[in-house]
Chain A
Amino acid sequence: MGAKIKQVEYYLPEGILTNEELEKAYPEWSATKLEKKVGIKQRHISGPNETSLDLATRAAIKVLEKEDKDLIDFVLFCTQSPDYLLPTSACLLQSRLGLKTNIGALDFNLGCSGYVYGLALAKGLINSGVCKNILLVTGETYSKFIAEDDISNRSIFGDAGTATIVTYSDEDQLGEFIFGTDGIGAENLIVNGLSARNSYILKDVDRPTLYMNGPEIFNFTIETIPPLIQQVLSKNKLQLSGIDYFILHQANKYILEFLISEIGLDKSKCHIDMLDYGNTVSNTIPIAFKDAFEQSKIQEGDKVLLAGFGVGYSWCSTIITI
């Protein structure tokens, strides 16, 4: 028994925020410099009435066009910007998609590490015989948490939704996983306000607001990810030369290039493309996967290393066979 990724689709909201628009709003800020260093030209931003559930629904509809939706027997929904505190977005998604009612559905709250965690959960459910065809979705609208005057976060983050079908297969195509968690970093990437910790009362702000301590997140990344890559290779009994392609969380170009040089990866085997999307949190890896497949950068039989890392702190890596 084993598990494999069968299909991946994504959806980007129609609203686009370009570097030129940001430059108009913040005259002291340089769009050219941002694009050159961070590798982002524009990001898609959800509309006022467009939510993570809406984005995930659009992606799920695309992925189910090629599938018998009655085969779906579990829904996993990764989001940190759910439509409601309750009910569960995955339950709303089941109803919207017209999936059967005798299936499991749950949300899990993770950011940039979330997609790889979702693959681990899906593999566990399938290999333990709990279910056979899982709809794993990610949906994120960080833009709704970002203050108007927060140029750093506005320039980095974009919204998106993705949907993946993970299904049983004779051979396991999802390899061994390495997980990591360190809650000491919680304060460095956090949405303040509207939390039980604050009695759900917003103080001094009119909406929940994202705070990111960029330098500390960068420190965390450069300390944690190089050993993570070595650990996942070792657990899968592979060497760097045995990997056909690397898809690391597309945080930004600068961080990826630093990691590539620090770890000693062949840059031509590494995905670096968030030019038109920005950092879309848990969506970056499935978007990159889909793009790499469409662009023939990866093909059937390839071994692809995936690594997600960020808010929590939380990190996770695996090696999949396409």
Chain B
Amino acid sequence: MIDNFIALLADALEKETSDVNRDDKFRNYEEWDSLAVLSVIAMIKTNYNITIPRKDFDELNTISELFEYIQAHR
């Protein structure tokens, strides 16, 4: 399941899937900017049908944390 999420996230960030790992802190990616945030929000809405409030999002750091949050709230 998380592999699929990683593939979707890599696509949203325009990165190679092999360069994205579950323990990565996504904000440290070179590609992470205000436009990347929009892409990730859109990807999560399209594929998991949820939006994440900013205050919750700001507390998520790694890709697996983001994935677990989505699983818990979808």
Q: Point out residues on A near B: beta carbons under 8 Å.
A: 33-34, 37-38, 152, 213-216, 218-219, 222-223, 254-255, 258, 261-262
Main secondary structure of the interface of A (DSSP, over half): helix
- Range, interface on chain B: 10 to 19
A214 touches B37 (CB 8 A): yes
- A-B contacts, 10 of them at CB < 8 A, read A34-B35, A38-B35, A152-B34, A214-B38, A218-B37, A218-B42, A219-B51, A219-B53, A222-B42, A254-B35
| Given A213-B54, A223-B51, A262-B46, A218-B41 contact (CB < 8 Å) | yes
**Distance, CA A222 to CA B49, complexed state (A):** 10
Can you name 6 extra interface pairs (CB under 8 A) apart from A214-B38, A261-B46?
A33-B35, A34-B35, A222-B41, A254-B35, A254-B38, A262-B46
Total A-B pairs, Cβ < 8 A: 40
| Given A222-B51, A223-B51, A215-B35 contact (CB < 8 Å) | no
A258 touches B35 (CB 8 A): no
**In the assembled complex, which residues on chain B have CB atoms less than 8 Å from the CB atom of A38?**
35
Q: Which of B1-39 contact A (CB under 8 A)?
A: 34-35, 37-39
The verdict on B69 contacting chain A, using a C-beta distance below 8 Å, is: no
Q: Which residue of B lies closest to A36 (CB)?
A: B35
Q: Which residue of A lies closest to B57 (CB)?
A: A215
A219 touches B46 (CB 8 A): no
**Distance, CA A223 to CA B52, complexed state (A):** 11
Q: Which residue of B lies closest to A153 (CB)?
A: B34
A255 touches B38 (CB 8 A): yes
**Distance, CA A222 to CA B43, complexed state (A):** 12
**In the assembled complex, which residues on chain A have CB atoms less than 8 Å from the CB atom of B38?**
214-215, 218, 254-255
Q: Which residue of A lies closest to B31 (CB)?
A: A33
List the 3 closest A-B pairs by CB distance, nearest first.
A219-B51, A216-B54, A258-B42
**In the assembled complex, which residues on chain B have CB atoms less than 8 Å from the CB atom of A152?**
34
**In the assembled complex, which residues on chain A have CB atoms less than 8 Å from the CB atom of B45?**
222, 258, 262
**Distance, CA A153 to CA B37, complexed state (A):** 15
Question: Residue among B35, B39, B46 with the most chain A CB within 10 A?
Answer: B35
Q: Which residue of A lies closest to B55 (CB)?
A: A216
**In the assembled complex, which residues on chain A have CB atoms less than 8 Å from the CB atom of B42?**
218, 222, 254, 258
**In the assembled complex, which residues on chain B have CB atoms less than 8 Å from the CB atom of A34?**
35
**In the assembled complex, which residues on chain A have CB atoms less than 8 Å from the CB atom of B39?**
254
**In the assembled complex, which residues on chain A have CB atoms less than 8 Å from the CB atom of B51?**
219, 222-223
**In the assembled complex, which residues on chain A have CB atoms less than 8 Å from the CB atom of B53?**
216, 219
**In the assembled complex, which residues on chain B have CB atoms less than 8 Å from the CB atom of A216?**
53-54
Closest CB in chain A relative to B24 CB, distance in Å? 20
**Distance, CA A261 to CA B45, complexed state (A):** 12
**In the assembled complex, which residues on chain B have CB atoms less than 8 Å from the CB atom of A218?**
37-38, 41-42
B46 touches A214 (CB 8 A): no
**In the assembled complex, which residues on chain B have CB atoms less than 8 Å from the CB atom of A223?**
51
**In the assembled complex, which residues on chain A have CB atoms less than 8 Å from the CB atom of B41?**
215, 218-219, 222
